[in-house]
C-alpha cells in the first residue's frame, strides 16, 4: 500500500501497512503506573546544562522534579549512580515504518506516483510494528519524523513515538508539515546542446512547482472570499500553509536550490525549513531574514564537491552555529537512522560543544517541529529518557540500559539481538 490522501481533512486515515510478515513481537510498554525516582545520576538536560549527582522524579509520563536529595515516598527508586540520563533522541527526516526491506517494492510505502501530492500523509502508511523500529530505538531514539519521498511536492510528514500499538497512539501533535523536493541541476554536459537540454528540463521542473503554488494560492484566495468552486483535495490540504499554520520543508542542498526555495517562501510568507542544507551556512543573511531553519542531514556524507576538504560535511553544523541559523541534525534513512547519535558526536570533533551536539538531536529537533514539551529534561516535559552507562554520542562507550517513552519502560529487545543470541548457540 502506498501513501494515501486524507479523506476528511484534517482527520487522518489509519490505513497502515501492518502485515504479519513485517511485524515484531515485542509488546509496547504499558502506561506508567507508579512514580520513579532516579538517584545520583549525571543528568544532561539539553536546556539547563549538566547536573552531576542529581535526582530525577517522573510521574504520569511527565518530569516532576530535578535536584539533589529529592524525596518521594511512594516512588520506585532507581539507583542511577555512575550513569547518565539523557532526553530521548528525535530522528528527523526518516522513513521509519514506511520502508521494511529497501529492495522489496511491496514493503516500501515512502512515495506515491505523481509530482504534486500535497494531500498525501505519510502517517497513513506508517507501520508501528515494523521490525526496524526496535533496532533503532535501542540506540536511544524515542521519536521519529516520518517523511514522504518524491520528486516535487511529496506530501506531509508526522512525528511519531517509536513504541505504540497503533498509529493513533504513536502520533505526537505538531503543525502540518509539507515536503517539497527542489529540483537538482546536476553536472552539466560538455556538449552545448545536451547542456541546454539539462537546463531546460530544470527550468520546466521549477516552473511546475511555481505553477502548483500559484494554483494553491488562488484556491486559498477563493476559499478566503468564500467563492471557491469545485473541491480540490490538493489545494484544500494546503490551506494551512497559506494561512501560516503549517511549515514548508524544502529538501535542498546547493546554494542555487536554497536561494530559489527562499524566494518561494518569501513570496507567500511561508515558514521555511531547509532539509539537507549543505550550503545553507553560505546564505545566513537570506535565511535569517525570513526566519528559516535548517535540518542538516549530511554529517556522515562525503563532500558535495571535489575541491572541498574531506572533513567539510563534518564542519557544517559548526558553521551553521556561527552563522546563527537555527538548526537540528537529521539522518535521511530508515534503518540507518540509528546512526544519528554517531553523527551528532562527529560534530563535536569539528566545532560544536557536546551540549550543542546533544541539543541538535533533542531540543532543537523538537523546536523545529513546533513541539514545546519534548527534547529536554525539565519540569513539565514528557518523560522521554535514556539511561546510559556512558556518553550517548560515543558508540564505543554508550551502553544504553533503559529507554523511557512518556514514562513507559520500553523493552529494548529487538530482531538483531534475537538473531545474535540464536547463532551464539550454534
**Dist CA 143 CA 163 (whole Å):** 9
| pLDDT beyond 60 at 157 | yes
Q: Average pLDDT of 382-404?
A: 95
- pLDDT value for 3: 56
Calculate what percentage of the chain has a pLDDT beyond 70: 94
- pLDDT value for 345: 95
| pLDDT beyond 60 at 63 | yes
Q: Average pLDDT of 88-105?
A: 89
| pLDDT beyond 80 at 41 | yes
- pLDDT value for 368: 97
Q: Residues 6 or more apart from 157 whose CB is under 8 A from it? A: 122, 145, 146, 147, 148, 177, 179, 249
Residue 361: CATH number of its domain: 3.20.20.140
Report yes or no on 417 lying in a domain.
Answer: no
| pLDDT beyond 60 at 311 | yes
DSSP output for 250-314: EEE-SHHHHHHHHHHHHHHT-EEEEEE-TTGGGGHHHHHHTT-EEEE--TTSPPSSTTS-TTHHH
Report yes or no on 291 lying in a domain.
Answer: yes
What is this structure's pTM? 0.91
- pLDDT value for 108: 82
Q: How many domains are contained in the chain?
A: 1
φ/ψ of residue 349, rounded to 5: -75, -10
Mean pLDDT check: name the lowest of 15-19, 172-176, 208-212, 237-241.
15-19
Report yes or no on 207 lying in a domain.
Answer: yes
- pLDDT value for 373: 96
> Among candidates 273, 277, 254, 253, which has minimal Cα distance to 264?
273
Report yes or no on 405 lying in a domain.
Answer: no
| pLDDT beyond 60 at 174 | yes
| pLDDT beyond 80 at 12 | no
CA atoms within 13 A on the CB side of 288: 12
Q: What are 251-261's pLDDT values in tens digits?
A: 999 999 999 99
Domain encompassing residue 171 = 89-369
- pLDDT value for 13: 35
Q: Which grid coordinates belong to 55?
A: 535526582
Alpha-carbon Rg of the chain, whole angstroms? 22
Cβ atoms of 162 and 141 closer than 8 Å: yes
Report yes or no on 82 lying in a domain.
Answer: no
Report yes or no on 314 lying in a domain.
Answer: yes
Report yes or no on 4 lying in a domain.
Answer: no
Residue 84 in 3-state DSSP? strand
Q: What confidence tier does 420 reach under pLDDT thresholds 50, 70, 90?
A: confident
> Among candidates 332, 299, 276, which has minimal Cα distance to 96?
332
Report yes or no on 164 lying in a domain.
Answer: yes
Q: What are 345-359's pLDDT values in tens digits?
A: 999 999 999 999 999
Amino acid at each position: 500500500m502506498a501513501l494515501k490522501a486524507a479523506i476528511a481533512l484534517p482527520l487522518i486515515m489509519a490505513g497502515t501497512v501492518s502485515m504479519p510478515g513485517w511485524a515484531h513481537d515485542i509488546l509496547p510498554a504499558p502506561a506508567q503506573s507508579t512514580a520513579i525516582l532516579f538517584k545520583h545520576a549525571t543528568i544532561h538536560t539539553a536546556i539547563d546544562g549538566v547536573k552531576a549527582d542529581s535526582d530525577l522524579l517522573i510521574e504520569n509520563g511527565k518530569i516532576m522534579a530535578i535536584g539533589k536529595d529529592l524525596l518521594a515516598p511512594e516512588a520506585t527508586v532507581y539507583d542511577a549512580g555512575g550513569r547518565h540520563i539523557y532526553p530521548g533522541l528525535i530522528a528527523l527526516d526518516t522513513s521509519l515504518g514506511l520502508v521494511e526491506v529497501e529492495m522489496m517494492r511491496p514493503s516500501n510505502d515512502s512515495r506515491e506516483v505523481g509530482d504534486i501530492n500535497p494531500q498525501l500523509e505519510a502517517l497513513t502508511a506508517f507501520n508501528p510494528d515494523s521490525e526496524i523500529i526496535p533496532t533503532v530505538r535501542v540506540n536511544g531514539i524515542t521519536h521519529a519524523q516520518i517523511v514522504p519521498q518524491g520528486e516535487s511536492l511529496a506530501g506531509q510528514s508526522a512525528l511519531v513515538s517509536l513504541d505504540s500499538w497503533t498509529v493513533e497512539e504513536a502520533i505526537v501533535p505538531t503543525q502540518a508539515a509539507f515536503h517539497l523536493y527542489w529540483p537538482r541541476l546536476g553536472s552539466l554536459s560538455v556538449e552545448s546542446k545536451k547542456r541546454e537540454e539539462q537546463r531546460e528540463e530544470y527550468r520546466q521542473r521549477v516552473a511546475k512547482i511555481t505553477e502548483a503554488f500559484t494554483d494553491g494560492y488562488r484556491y486559498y484566495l477563493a476559499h478566503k472570499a468564500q467563492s471557491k468552486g469545485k473541491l480540490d483535495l490538493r489545494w484544500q490540504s494546503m490551506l494551512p500553509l497559506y494561512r501560516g499554520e503549517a511549515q514548508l520543508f524544502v529538501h535542498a542542498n546547493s546554494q542555487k536550490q536554497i536561494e530559489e526555495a527562499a524566494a518561494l517562501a518569501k513570496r507567500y510568507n511561508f515558514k521555511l525549513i531547509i532539509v539537507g542544507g549543505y550550503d545553507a551556512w553560505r546564505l545566513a543573511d537570506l535565511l535569517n531574514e525570513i526566519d528559516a531553519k535548517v535540518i542538516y542531514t549530511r554529517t556522515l556524507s562525503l563532500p558535495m564537491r571535489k575541491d572541498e576538504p574531506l572533513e567539510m560535511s563534518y564542519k557544517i553544523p559548526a558553521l551553521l552555529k556561527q552563522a546563527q541559523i537555527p538548526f537540528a541534525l537529521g539522518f535521511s534513512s530508515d534503518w540507518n537512522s540509528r546512526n544519528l547519535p554517531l553523527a551528532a558526536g562527529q560534530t563535536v570533533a569539528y566545532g560544536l560543544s557536546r551540549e550543542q551536539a546533544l541539543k541538535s538531536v533533542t531540543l532543537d529537533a523538537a523546536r523545529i517541529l513546533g513541539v514545546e514539551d519534548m527534547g529536554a529534561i525539565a519540569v513539565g516535559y514528557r518523560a522521554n529518557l535514556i539511561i546510559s552507562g556512558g556518553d550517548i554520542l560515543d558508540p564505543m562507550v554508550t551502553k544504553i540500559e533503559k529507554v523511557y517513552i512518556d514514562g513507559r519502560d520500553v523493552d529494548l529487545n529487538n530482531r538483531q539481538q534475537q538473531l545474535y543470541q540464536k547463532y551464539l548457540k550454534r
